[in-house]
């Protein structure tokens, strides 16, 4: 009932030359069973969407909460949509840290995404200190509640659980720790959104790679992954797609 989703976040990596990786990915996985999404830098959204022709969905990595205006350097959700995007990541921990984005700002961005017809991929995650202090579920529950707008549905919202200490570090939580948080998010979504909450995908993110993808995808309430570093190379991301298809 929830289609699996393999999402890649290229972060601030990639130029037009990198589109050859996307061509290679499509050649190796012409008809994946799961949904595949790539979120390149904004400069590549239009070219990637033209290349993938909907076979791989394309998303932005952030959008402004406003529809237009005097916000130099920012991008409105409708601009991403116009360039061919269908999704946008909001509230990635790097944006929360580098740009002081609060839950309230993330919720406003998710609302803007929905208004423009984009699916919002809302990111949540605890720091290592918060995990060590036993605060993980409190932090995730608070972020989930405050970052997700009312009216979120399975069609317009994806949740990504990304422990900050696992992003780009090669470290991952234990499978039991992943299951605990994903089960918690699933139950919170059901409590707030009812049946619609049961339709929202919950992705795991943080050092997913070909060697650990299968066990993560076999974990309770994991509907796919948000992948950073390993999404840059067709061979690695393709192996993760194959693992998700096999799950
Ligand atoms: C991310 O930044 O969303 C991420 C999960 O990165 P990595 O896979 O490189 O840890």
Torsion of CA 235, 237, 242, 243, to 10 degrees: 120
What is the 70 CA–ligand 1 centroid distance (Å)? 31
Cα distance between residue 125 and residue 30, in whole Å: 33
Mean pLDDT of the chain: 97
**Residue 1: what pLDDT?**
81
What is the 69 CA–ligand 1 centroid distance (Å)? 31
Tokens read off for 200: 């929202």
CATH, range 5-246: 3.20.20.70
Quickly tell me which residue has 């699916």 as its tokens.
Answer: 119
- Per-residue pLDDT tens digits for 64-109: 999 999 999 999 999 999 999 999 999 999 999 999 999 999 999 9
Q: Is the pLDDT of residue 47 over 90?
A: yes
Q: How many CB atoms lie within 10 A of CB 74?
A: 15
Query: Candidates 6, 123, 167: which one to mutate for ligand 1, based on the most atoms within 8 Å of Cβ?
Result: 167
**Minimum-distance ligand 1 atom for the alpha carbon of 208:** 8
Tokens read off for 227: 């992948």
Residue percentage of the chain with pLDDT more than 70: 100
Q: Is the pLDDT of residue 6 over 90?
A: yes
- Per-residue pLDDT tens digits for 162-189: 999 999 999 999 999 999 999 999 999 9
| Ligand 1 touching residue 206 (CB < 6 A) | yes
Nearest CA to ligand 1 atom 2: 228
Tokens read off for 85: 């995007």
Is position 162 annotated as part of the catalytic site?
yes
Global confidence as pTM? 0.97
Cα distance between residue 84 and residue 72, in whole Å: 21
CB-CB contact of 123 with 205 (8 Å) = yes
């Amino acid at each position: 009932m929830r289609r699996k989703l393999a999402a890649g976040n290229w972060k601030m990596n990639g130029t037009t030359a990198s589109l050859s990786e996307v061509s290679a990915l499509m050649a190796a996985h012409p008809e994946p069973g799961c949904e595949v999404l790539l979120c390149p830098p904004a400069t590549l959204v239009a070219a990637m969407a033209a290349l993938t022709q909907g076979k791989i969905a394309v998303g932005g990595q952030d959008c402004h909460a406003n529809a237009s205006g005097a916000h130099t350097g920012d991008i409105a959700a409708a601009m991403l949509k116009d360039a061919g995007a269908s999704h946008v990541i909001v509230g990635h921990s790097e944006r929360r840290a580098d740009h002081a984005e609060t839950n309230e700002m993330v919720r406003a961005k998710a609302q803007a995404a929905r208004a423009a017809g984009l699916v919002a991929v809302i990111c949540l995650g605890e720091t290592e200190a918060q995990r060590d202090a036993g605060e993980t579920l409190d932090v995730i529950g608070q972020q989930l509640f405050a970052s997700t707008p009312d009216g979120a549905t399975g069609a317009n919202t994806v949740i990504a659980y990304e422990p900050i200490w696992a992003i780009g570090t090669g470290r991952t939580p234990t499978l039991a720790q992943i299951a605990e948080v994903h089960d918690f998010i699933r139950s919170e979504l059901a409590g707030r959104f009812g049946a619609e909450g049961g339709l929202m995908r919950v992705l795991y993110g943080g050092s997913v790679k070909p060697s650990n993808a299968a066990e993560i995808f076999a974990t309770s309430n994991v509907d796919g992954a948000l992948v950073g570093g390993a999404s840059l190379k067709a061979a690695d991301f393709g192996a993760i797609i194959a693992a998700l298809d096999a799950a």
